[in-house]
Structure 1
């Protein structure tokens, strides 16, 4: 599939505008090399399960990808209203929401293509990005993407995880990452928009993991035709 650019445009209540482009490609986002803040160092509040070594990597790739979003929101509160417009190759979506929800949506797209090894598994879903997705939409997209991935694995002669056993560990790792990135941003920002955006991502990750371990029919009604 060809690479696709996703463009986020934030308009704040004071009519100021901040814009961000994310390239949904197979490679990582281009890394900044100059004037990086101290909180982007890999060893600064490094995630407890991070597989990267400070001997090989000077900076956390996810943190580097968040430098500009963090600068844009450093003095803004998470509950501040914002109009966000997201333009991709196939559609444009505009919504009036809070800054933390809009930033959470952006961070969920930036992470997989940042070079972070923990979020890399989310790239297939991020290539078909759905801005501001609800918990039910996230659950649907997560399960659907994972199971389609297992089908494609099987087509390639690899073993398929049809019980989604490994998916629970994936989301456990994502929760640890969300906590670690929150610690980084908490040390860097005067306001809480970035931190609370990761809190929202963590809640979504928690919902997915809970559904895997204690599924209570969340999606049954939407799939009733399959269950007849």
Structure 2
């Protein structure tokens, strides 16, 4: 099995470290992890369950998303959101290092894990996890999300299926993710001593809530980058 490994290494203010090695199946992008035999009660499926949840207790007695982030949540429950950390994200291709807040760093880690958590609503973000960009900005996130969505529509068209180039399906994906984030933040608020775990999810949700309202503006601002394609259609013939 080909494996994609991504390591998140947090160095805290006291010099201690929290290290998370995530391994993904390179073909399915499933998260390869051994869950403990007993998970905390707050990971039960029905505990602050998402209002639009498509998972049944017969399938999963535990919320797949909660089960996959439980270790991260418990290991950071002693920090507050604006504690300073040094973050190194190590992949086969590169190392990304930055001094940042615990909230920013944990939010980036959660975004990666949530995409591969097994939640039906987050599965659409698996390609983004494959090309993970730590600590991405709103503009970077929208650029990547739109690009990956349009690639998926290209493949649908190749298979003779209707393709959505108006991004309506992408907006629906983000609307569903907003409900997931909101329910997960409520779940974490009810059990955590620190504000960090819930706020890390809320930070992800800032991007999610902003998406339907900012996408047109951000795409308009990005239009100038594609001037070579737009100024003269003959350019496309030259590169064929």
Higher RCO structure (Cα 8 Å, ≥6 apart): 1
TM-score by length of 1: 0.93
Give the structure with higher Rg (CA): 2
CA distance in 1, matches of 2:143, 2:218: 13
Find the counterpart in structure 1 of residue 10 from structure 2.
10
Q: Does the 8 Å contact 2:22/2:31 carry over to 1?
A: no
2:193 to 190, 193, 196: 190
SS at match of 2:221: coil
CA distance in 2, matches of 1:224, 1:200: 33
Per-residue Cα deviation, 1:180-213 (whole angstroms, up to 9, x for no partner): 1101111221001111111110111122222346
Find the counterpart in structure 1 of residue 220 from structure 2.
217
| Root mean square deviation of aligned Cα | 1.8
Q: Does the 8 Å contact 1:29/1:65 carry over to 2?
A: no
CA distance in 1, matches of 2:131, 2:102: 22
SS at match of 1:115: coil
1:34-53 → structure 2 map (5 Å cutoff)? 34-53=37-56
* Greater Cα shift, 103-112 or 203-212: 203-212
CA distance in 1, matches of 2:62, 2:107: 22
Q: Aligned in 2, Cα 1:118/1:216: closer, same or farther, shift over 3 Å?
A: closer
Find the counterpart in structure 2 of residue 113 from structure 1.
116
Find the counterpart in structure 2 of residue 62 from structure 1.
65
Structure 2 residues not aligned, in runs of 5+: 232-240
Find the counterpart in structure 2 of residue 87 from structure 1.
90
SS at match of 1:107: helix
1:78 to 77, 81, 97: 81
Q: Does the 8 Å contact 1:29/1:114 carry over to 2?
A: no
CA distance in 1, matches of 2:54, 2:40: 22
SS at match of 1:211: helix
Find the counterpart in structure 2 of residue 134 from structure 1.
137
Per-residue Cα deviation, 1:129-187 (whole angstroms, up to 9, x for no partner): 00000111001001111011111221222221111111111000000000011011112
Q: Post-superposition, which runs of at least 4 consecutive aligned residues in structure 1 deviate over 6 A?
A: 213-216
2:102 to 76, 99, 103: 99
TM-score by length of 2: 0.89
CA distance in 1, matches of 2:99, 2:3: 28
